[in-house]
Amino acid sequence: GSTLSETLNSCSNSTESLNVSNVVNETKRPKIHKKKKKKKLTKLSLPDEIKNEPSLKKYWVQRYKLFSKFDDGVRLDKESWYSVTPEKIAEHIAERCRCDIIVDAFCGSGGNSIQFAFTCERVIAIDIDPVKLENARHNAAIYGVEDRIEFICGSFFDLAPTLKADVIFLSPPWGGPEYIHCDTYSIAAMGEFGEKAFQLARNISDNVAFFLPKNSNVDELVRLAGQGKHVELEQNMLNNKISTLTAYYGDELIDWGGNNQFTDATNDDTRRLDDTGYAADFELQDSLAEHSSFSLDVADER
């Protein structure tokens, strides 16, 4: 066994070790937190049309709402930045317009045509501007649907008598962003792109989807349906704000809502339908697209 002297020396060494440890802990310097270097943000190169037109920068900020695959090389000309349909709204309209053959009468840079290609067997995309049409073709290739779209450079007004389709989609020029300043937007402001384009479309098919500003004159849209006919008006919402309006004509398009449509009519009087709120809660990053609609019957004024 160990001697008493050895035992005392062992205890003494343990105590010294403990005391040294405590001193080290007490005198330990606080950690110095180095500031993390902020990652340098890569400046995105703005397209020329955005650089030359500062008012378009607000559309540049929302580019992923216009095309989710924007970074894959989507091309837009100046006018298309403020006239293309946001992708989630275009998706919804395409679902409602599902059919064999659809005509996109004023296709622009292809936002709607691309989505129609996912729901329809064949898309006929028309635009009189060759630059827009080439952009539409290019953008369709990015989404992998260019083989389902027939691109035609020409005027819808000239081509209409030769066209055959199940549904006609109209998204004509609205005259620029200035429409937002009007209390009520009249389709007369569109000139021939308004009522004339609509009547040509109805000559091809009863089923017409008319994409319009959110402040469009409802009475004018109701009268377009004709006596005894129906129209369904759908408010398209983005970020909890009404963005645009789509008017649907023809039984096949109106019947899409099915049980969501309720007619409130008494003694043959025409009344506004209840808000249906269907096809709601489409999300894209921080955006929200909703669609609410009501349907109207046009009274037979005889």
Q: List, for residues 174-211, the tens digit of each pLDDT value.
A: 877 666 767 888 888 888 999 999 999 999 999 999 99
pLDDT value of position 278? 31
**Kind and range of the H or E run holding 140:** helix 130-142
pLDDT value of position 13? 53
Structure pTM? Answer: 0.72
pLDDT value of position 48? 76
Give the 3-state secondary structure of residue 170. strand
Domain assignment of residue 119, yes or no: yes
- Between residues 79 and 109, the one the model is more confident about: 109
What are the CB-based long-range contacts (under 8 Å, 24+) for 235-239?
235/291, 235/292, 235/293, 236/89, 236/92, 236/289, 236/290, 236/291, 237/288, 237/289, 237/290, 237/291, 237/292, 238/65, 238/86, 238/88, 238/89, 238/287, 238/288, 238/289, 239/286, 239/287, 239/288
- Whichever domain contains 60, its CATH number is 3.40.50.150
The number of distinct structural domains making up the chain is: 1
pLDDT value of position 299? 44
pLDDT value of position 2? 54
Domain span at residue 259? 48-297
Domain assignment of residue 5, yes or no: no
Domain assignment of residue 182, yes or no: yes
Q: Is residue 273 predicted with pLDDT exceeding 60?
A: no
Domain assignment of residue 138, yes or no: yes
The strands making up 241-249's β-sheet, listed across from edge to edge, are: 149-153, 122-127, 101-104, 167-170, 208-213, 241-249, 230-238, 287-297, 282-284
- Between residues 152 and 256, the one the model is more confident about: 152
Sign of CA dihedral 106, 296, 206, 202: negative
Domain assignment of residue 164, yes or no: yes
Domain assignment of residue 302, yes or no: no
Q: 89-98, 101-110, 222-231: which has the minimum mean pLDDT?
A: 222-231
DSSP β-bridge partners for residue 292? 235
Q: 82-91, 120-129, 253-262: which has the minimum mean pLDDT?
A: 253-262
